[in-house]
Structure formats: structure tokens, C-alpha cells
Chain A
């Protein structure tokens, strides 16, 4: 038996969005590092910051899903 709520679907959709976003960031960063290996450290820092910002948006959705579930 499948038990769940619409909130779980919302959390899943948020995970898809964040996955696409972080994938794009990773792709961009790896391409950038391949082109300019000497800038690797700077690119990595910016990549982590951008990834954290994208992740935060998906976590907003998780919080909304949790609140909607409760």
C-alpha cells in the first residue's frame, strides 16, 4: 500500500529542480576548470557558493512540504 501526501510529491519535484540546477553549476565549473586550470580554486569557491544558493531554494520547498504535511 502506498501511503503519502501531496507534500511528498512537492518535495520530490523540488529535488528534481535542485538536481538540474546543481548539475548545471557542476558542468559549468568543470568546463571552466578544464579551460583554465590555473583558476581552479577560484572557480571551485564560486561553484560551492552557487550550489549552496540553489540547494537553499530546494530546501525552502522541503520546508514548505514539511509544513504542508504537518
Chain B
């Protein structure tokens, strides 16, 4: 309930806009809201704005935390606060650094003197800013370090044979679960070598999924629903799979044993494509699941503003709570599936094939 209430606070500027604004103030409000074009509540625009990365962290109403902007242009690096890019009404304004910068649809662009975007120069802007997603990642890394250093210390202090206590009792079954359900079935006796990676990726994705579901400050960033983030994680798996791939793995890609020569040549490009499709499917699976979850929750809350009636919340709030609970499960399952498929792909790569079994 607290969570849903907080989402409503999140929408506050739009509530005041779509419900209470008298006619004569409407035009002014339009300009303030930016992405609103008509008198109706712009559902798609608001939702996409909420699942996007931002240069500042919106807290409530007109309060937001400005975050540092770090950009590299051909005149070198430059850093300034993102508060310089918007005025008190949250409207983007031009900041004159090495170039005149302005936020256009959330991205930093270089402006011409006549107010249009200088596309050629903007393409050269290399944005290394500490954005909302980056801050969210720092928070989750910090939380993970606190949890796991504490748990690791408890093991060194009390030994591995004594019963776990405190937070240790929560983490230990999860680690055992990943070891028994992910590591051992797919990696066999190689499991201990890859367990640190599998556990890291599992807990990192899980905590980011959970933080993404918290609508108030420390959470709320759509980090694991960001395709660059999931792509990076899939890239790790891709590198590990291909670096640890044994002779049999490469042989099955380029020269499938036990097949006629024509079939071997036919299968080669397909298998080679499969090497790249695996990490791509990992990327899109996590990205799509988490983004879809965020869109669902936001759509259900938006129902209240679409119907412009408080009574709609009688339906929207229980549904939102229901979907949020489902998303808690999805957050766990997707982290588990990412770790499981990583283990599966690594297991396929390090497997020692027995060629004589394959020849028909």
C-alpha cells in the first residue's frame, strides 16, 4: 500500500494538471508539463518517461536530486550539475559550457543559435554522466557489499560448520539453492570454478530488480530494464562461454562431428549465429521482462488518471498491488533464469564430448 501511495505521489504533477487545473491555467500548465499536448492525460508519454534513464532523480512534486553531468566533446571533458539544465519549472534550459547544451527528450544536445538542435555536433557528444541508473547501480553495489561482507565475516568468525544466524540464515539457503539448482546440474564437477560468477550475477540482477520495484528514493530506477545494462551482463556470459570453450565446443560449431560433409557446411553458419544469438536472447529476455513489469504497474496506476475519477482507484490499486507481487516473483525468476542459462551455456562449452558416441 505504501508503494502504491508513493507511485501516486510520483504522479502528483500530473494529477494537479489533469484534474484540478482550471481552464484558464491550462495553457500555462501545458507548457510546464512538456510532454502533454492535449487536455487528456498522456499515458504513453508519462509511462515511457518513467521507465527512461534521467539526468536527475525525481523525488516528488517539483523536488528532484540533480546529478552530475560528465560529457566529452572535441573540446575535452566537461562536468557540471544537471540542475543547470533545467529551470525551477523543470523545463529544459540552455547551459553554456564549451557548447550551448540543452536536454532534448532526456538527451544532451548541442544547440544552434536559432534554437534548433545541431545534429552534427550533437553526434560527437560522448555522455559519461552519473545518471539515475548509474546512481541506482552504485546503491545496489553498496547494498550488496554491505550484505556479503557481513555474511562472509560471520563465516570466518563462527566457522562454516556452526548454524547460521541473522542475515546469514537468509542468504545461505539462496546460495545453496543456486549451487544445487543452477551450478551442479549444468556444470557438474566444474561448478566450484563458476559459482562466484553465477552467484554474483544472480544477486546483482535480483537486487536491481527489487530496487526497481521500490517507487521511492533508493529504488525506482529502471536499471535492469535498461538494455545497455542487460547487454553488459550478457556480454560477461558471452566472454566466459567463449574463453572457457573447449575443443569440442568449437568443433561442434565449425565442423559438427558425425554428419555428412554437406550438412557440416550447412550447419556451420547456423551454429556460428547461435553463438551470438544466445547472449542477445539473454539481453532481451531480462530487459523485456522488467520493462514490461514497470509498464504494467504504471499503466494500472494511470487508469485513475485516464478515468479522471478517484473511484477508479478501487479497481486500479488492488490490481497494482497484485501485479507488484507478481513482479516480485518475476524479479527472482528472471535473475534465476539469467544465472541458469549462463550456467547452461558455460556447461555446453566446457563439456567433454565423447566422439565415438556421436558417430552413427
Interface residues of A (CB under 8 A from B): 45, 48-49, 52-53, 55-56, 59-60, 62-63, 70
Are the C-beta atoms of B333 and A49 separated by less than 8 Å? Answer: yes
Do B181 and A63 touch across chains, with their CB atoms under 8 A apart? no
Neighbour of B289 across the interface among A45, A49, A56, CB < 8 A? A56
B288 touches A62 (CB 8 A): yes
The answer to whether A63 touches B288, judged by C-beta atoms less than 8 angstroms apart, is yes
Which residue of chain A has the shortest Cβ distance to B48 in the bound complex?
A70
How far is it, in angstroms, between the C-alpha of A64 and the C-alpha of B134 when the chains are bound?
26
Chain B 333-356, CB-CB to A under 8 Å as 1, else 0, gives 110110010000000000000000
| Residues B333 and A48 in contact, CB atoms below 8 Å apart | yes
Q: Which residue of chain B lies nearest to A53 when distances are taken between CB atoms in the complex?
A: B337
B144 interface contact, C-beta 8 A: no
**Residues of A contacting B285 in the complex (Cβ-Cβ under 8 angstroms):** 53, 56, 59-60
Q: Which of B303-344 contact A (CB under 8 A)?
A: 330, 333-334, 336-337, 340
Interface 0/1 of B253-296, CB less than 8 Å to A: 00000000000000000000000000000001101110110000
Q: From known contacts A52-B330, A55-B289, infer whether A63 and B337 are also in contact, taking CB-CB under 8 Å.
A: no
Ranked 10 nearest A-B pairs via Cβ: A59-B288, A56-B285, A52-B333, A63-B288, A59-B292, A52-B337, A59-B289, A60-B284, A60-B288, A62-B292
Closest Cβ of chain A to B19, distance in Å, is 23
Nearest CB on A from B323, distance (A): 14
What are 11 A-B residue pairs whose CB atoms fall within 8 Å in the complex? A48-B333, A49-B333, A52-B337, A56-B289, A56-B337, A62-B288, A62-B292, A63-B284, A63-B287, A63-B292, A70-B48
Interface residues, chain B, CB within 8 Å of chain A? 48, 181, 284-285, 287-289, 291-292, 330, 333-334, 336-337, 340
Residues of B within 8 A of A70 (CB): 48
Closest Cβ–Cβ distance, residue A24 to chain B (whole Å): 18
- Say yes or no: B291 contacts A63, CB within 8 Å: yes
Contact of B334 with A52 in the complex, beta carbons under 8 Å: yes
Q: Report A59 CB to chain B, min CB distance, Å.
A: 4
Please indicate the chain A residues that have their CB under 8 angstroms from the CB of B330 in the complex: 52
In Å, the complex CA distance between A63 and B292 comes to 8
- In Å, the complex CA distance between A55 and B334 comes to 11
A52 to B336, CA, bound (A): 10
A60 to B284, CA, bound (A): 7
Of chain B, the residue at the smallest CB distance from A55 is B289
* Chain A residues positioned under 8 Å from B284 (CB to CB): 56, 60, 63
On whether the beta carbons of B288 and A49 are closer than 8 Å, the reply is: no
Minimum Cβ distance to chain A for residue B302 (Å): 16
Contacts of B340 in A (CB 8 A): 49
Given A56-B285, A60-B284, A63-B287, are A49 and B336 neighbors across the interface (CB < 8 Å)? yes
Residues A49 and B337 in contact, CB atoms below 8 Å apart: yes
Minimum distance in angstroms from A1 CB to a CB of chain B: 14
Determine whether the beta carbon of A45 is less than 8 Å from that of B337.
Answer: no
A56 contact from B48, B181, B288, B336, Cβ within 8 A = B288
Please measure, in the bound complex, the distance between the C-alpha atom of A55 and the C-alpha atom of B288, giving whole angstroms.
10
